[in-house]
Structure 1
Amino acid sequence: MSAVRQDVRMGAGEVCRRLLARPWLLSGRDDAAIEAVHRFEEQVRSLARALEWRLVIEPDTVRLLKSPPERLRERTWPVAEECRWMWLAAAAIDRLPPMVTTAHLVAAAREAAVEIGFTVTGSRHELQETRRGLEMLQARGVIEVREGTLEELEDRHRCALLRLHHERTLFLIANAELMGEDGAWVVDPAADPGEWIERCAPPASTGARVLRRLVDDTVVYWSDLSVSESYWLREQLDDQVAQAAELLGLGVEERAEGVALVLSSEHAGVQGHGFPLHRGTVQHAAVLVRDFALTGGRTDGAGCPGPGWLALTPQAVEEQLARCARTHLWWSGAYRSDIAQLAGEVRLLWQQLGLLRITTGYTDTWWFSPAAARWARTDSASPTS
């Protein structure tokens, strides 16, 4: 591979990875990232096609309409009040002119709430949640503050001036196939809301489902795949999977427990870094608990996700953390005095990485993925800020 082609590959890979992490880019905030997407537009569009995600590239906006990871679909998430007010305000924007005040937008959002039978109290708490909802729309470029600030929303005598970007409300629903080429609804949401919602998340092909898991998850485990998905992944490791990895500037690593896309030594030279890169009490404790599992964890039992997974009980985790807290005096005093809280943070960190699973029963069990052992053990020096 020539040096020029390798530089292009690595540059395109970095742009694609950043877009996956931040799928909504706006002018004035992400100008450099938008310019990079335009520079590597061919590679970015190729990746979006492989993943079967819609991609919108405009001079001032880039939006990758990606679906949430499968692991998040399996959970039941509470609907936060600020999310509710974000959607109510988005629905209200359709009936408002491009330039409005916060007072007009809040009033229209409350009208939308009443229309669907949502109780409007006008309390200070509700106003705070409404402001957070508007901040979510601001972060997505749907509303732009021209004068004042959204903090003034709680001051009944002051209003901010807003610019509403009506066309961007169409980007709020990821992967939606809701409008035809003529700009009209394919399915009228008022006439058939069920069909409209189904089209918000159209089913993907087997290959796209597996590729999405590969880019979203640390490891795709063989035990989590269906027969058809497992067959596709084995057949396409050297073809479609390798092509997607190249677009991302990554390598493909096949392990006994599954497949992962990794940064190899030829990409940015990050191979060999210990985990975590930014050390702190929780991160250091997480690795020490993992090290304890490698030496003292059991490898079988009810609920074992697959071969090579290591199990610890929550009691064993807390006992080990208590021993470590007496040794590592540089740990945060708040965590050293509350081992249960530290254990909860450690659990959350490993779960977010997709390298820990919890089985419940008479007693819970922590199962560490075999892939958790790929990171080198950290030293016991004080953390870097």
Structure 2
Amino acid sequence: MSAPEGLHRAARALLSRPLLRASAHPQEFRLVREHLHELRRWFDRNTGWRLYTDAETARLRKVPGDPGNATHPAREAGRGRQAFDRRRYVLFCLALAVLERAEAQTALGRMAEHIVLEASAPEFADLGFTLAARDQRMDLVAVVRLLVDLGVLSRVAGDEGAFVGRQGDALYDVDRRVLAALLAGARGPSTVPHGDHGARLTALAEDGVAQQLDSDDLRNTAIRHRLTRRLLDDPVLYFDTLTPQEQAYLTGQRGAITRRIHELTGLVAEVRAEGIAMVDPRDDLTDVRMPEQGTTGHATLLLAEYLAAAGRPLTLDELAARVRELADEHASYWAKSARAPGNEPELVAAAVDRLRALDLVEPQSLDGVPAVAARPALARYAVAAPVVTTPEGETP
């Protein structure tokens, strides 16, 4: 394998899975170790992300370019892939705190007892987490399965499903090496001052450069980090989301930034009047695809076409009405459950979530009614009127 190809694969592996374990990802881990110097230098200079490695793990400590973007939530491992809500995120953090004090092995039931105790603190009063309800136990199991997928826990015996039904327990080994590598912020949470949640989240993600903007060079470095992070992480970087300083910097440095990303990852810049998208010719460096298979994927693609052609924001009720029409039109292809009357809002919600994650639409309100508006990149899904030509290539 050539050096550029190996570097590409190592970088792409870290970007798609920032925590690699030698036992679970041997080929990717080996490539990262082989190209460690180049990777560390590139990420440090262009994103400010730190790359930590030891004999068993490689951890790219990514922080987001846009901390307020909530369109790519954590999802439970396995079937369903349900997105994490606030309760699951809180339980995830409490589970990590409990595991810091746990023995080398721990049982799910014992871990649950400690999490319930931690969740009784006043700041978590709105959760009301007691494990009494089945949905609460399912939330905790979703957290545990994510920890297993990450490698923090290794299942030794038992089954989480039995715990949900109160019919059994499960036993795990705790990998402290992986546990210690999970925290990605450039500063410890205890050093972030109390205040507005958004401000605290931003402060947690700030790197040292962003905290010391006392020169033009440092300010430019901070801007370069933010722009490169967004180009790597976000489907589209729209110019209207940038500050004047970021727009000015990108105007002069766009070619250099996109070239460096291409050299590391193989991503190709698609530059339009409204923004930049780093397109992946291999189509595997993403957590959200469009189009996607299945009824939901098909409905999402058809709604994207409908929104692109509408030329105006559409309410969720209008989208639901369109789904009803599409369900009748594609009855032979769609799942029976999706065609059932009353399921339109669920399909619309899933489609809008996917389109938002791809930066193709944005939520709006029309006279207080929830609506969705197309973003410029959605235009690629508009279907043009067919053009009929003669054999000589002339339009009749």
TM-score range, shorter chain: 0.7 to 0.9
In 2, are the aligned partners of 1:313 and 1:365 still within 8 Å (CA)?
yes
Among 174, 184, 187, the residue aligned to 1:177: 187
Relative to structure 1, the CA distance from residue 84 to residue 257 in structure 2 (aligned partners, 3 Å threshold; closer, same or farther) is: same
> 2:160–2:170: 8 Å Cα contact kept in structure 1?
yes
Contact 1:297 1:312 in 2 (8 A): no
Gaps in structure 2 of 5+ consecutive residues: 74-83, 211-221, 385-396
Q: Which moved more, 1:121-130 or 1:163-172?
A: 121-130
Task: Tell me whether 29-38 or 127-136 shows the greater mean CA deviation.
Answer: 127-136
CA positional deviation for 1:64: 1.7
Match of residue 200 from structure 1: 204
Checking the alignment, whether the CA contact within 8 Å between 2:147 and 2:153 is kept in structure 1 is: yes
Does residue 348 of structure 2 align to residue 343 of structure 1?
Answer: yes
TM superposition shift of 1:139: 2.6
Note if 1:51 corresponds to 2:71: no
Give me the whole-angstrom Cα distance separating, in 2, the residues matched to 1:21 and 1:60. Answer: 18
Structure 1 match to 2:253: 236
TM alignment of 1:324-335, pairs within 5 A: 324-329=326-331, 330-335=333-338
8 Å Cα contact 1:146-1:161 kept in structure 2: yes
Task: In structure 1, give the amino acid aligned to 2:330.
Answer: H
Deviation at 1:58, TM superposition (A): 2.2
1:223-372 to 2 correspondences below 5 Å: 223-263=240-280, 267-268=281-282, 276-298=290-312, 311-329=313-331, 330-336=333-339, 337=341, 338-362=343-367, 363-372=369-378
Per the alignment, residue 304 of structure 1 pairs with none
Confirm or deny: 8 A CA contact 1:173 1:200 kept in the other structure.
Answer: no
Structure 1 position 95 matched with structure 2 position 109: no
Distance 2:315 2:283 in 1: 37
Q: Aligned pairs, how many?
A: 343
State TM-score, norm by structure 2.
0.72
Q: Give the direction of change, closer, same or farther, for the CA distance of 1:361–1:312 in structure 2 (3 Å limit).
A: closer
- After superposition, give the CA deviation of every residue in 1:79-129 in whole Å (9 maximum; x if it has no partner): 543433332232233333324444554444445445677677453545544
Query: Identity, % of aligned pairs?
Result: 24
* Other-structure match for 2:77: none
1-structure distance, mates of 2:278, 2:295: 28
Distance 2:129 2:235 in 1: 42
Deviation of 1:69 (Å):
5.5
Does the CA-based 8 Å contact 2:65-2:226 persist in structure 1? Answer: no
Distance (whole Å) between structure 2 residues aligned to residue 346 and residue 114 of structure 1: 36
Cα deviation, residue 292, structure 1 = 3.3
Instruction: Return closer, same or farther for 1:98/1:334 CA change in 2, 3 Å cut-off.
Output: closer
Deviation at 1:277, TM superposition (A): 4.9
- Give the corresponding residue for 1:137: 147
Shift in CA distance, 357/94, structure 1 to aligned 2, threshold 3 Å: closer
Question: For residues 306 and 109 of structure 2, what CA distance do their matches in structure 1 show?
Answer: 56
Matches within 5 A, 1:28-177: 28-49=23-44, 50-68=46-64, 70=66, 72-73=68-69, 80-113=86-119, 121=130, 123=132, 125=134, 126-151=136-161, 153=163, 160-177=170-187
What's the CA shift string for 1:7-44, capped at 9, x where partnerless? 54344334323322222222332223222322333443
5+ unaligned residues in a row in structure 1: which ranges?
179-186, 299-310, 379-385
Tell me how far apart the structure 2 counterparts of residues 167 and 73 of structure 1 sit (CA, whole Å): 29
Q: Give the alignment's Cα RMSD to 1 decimal.
A: 3.7
Partner Cα separation in structure 2 for residue 248 and residue 324 of structure 1: 39
Per the normalisation by structure 1, the TM-score is 0.74
Provide, for residues 157-207 of structure 1, a one-character-per-residue CA deviation record: whole Å limited to 9, x for no partner. Answer: 9654433233433333222334xxxxxxxx9x3x98649987632254111
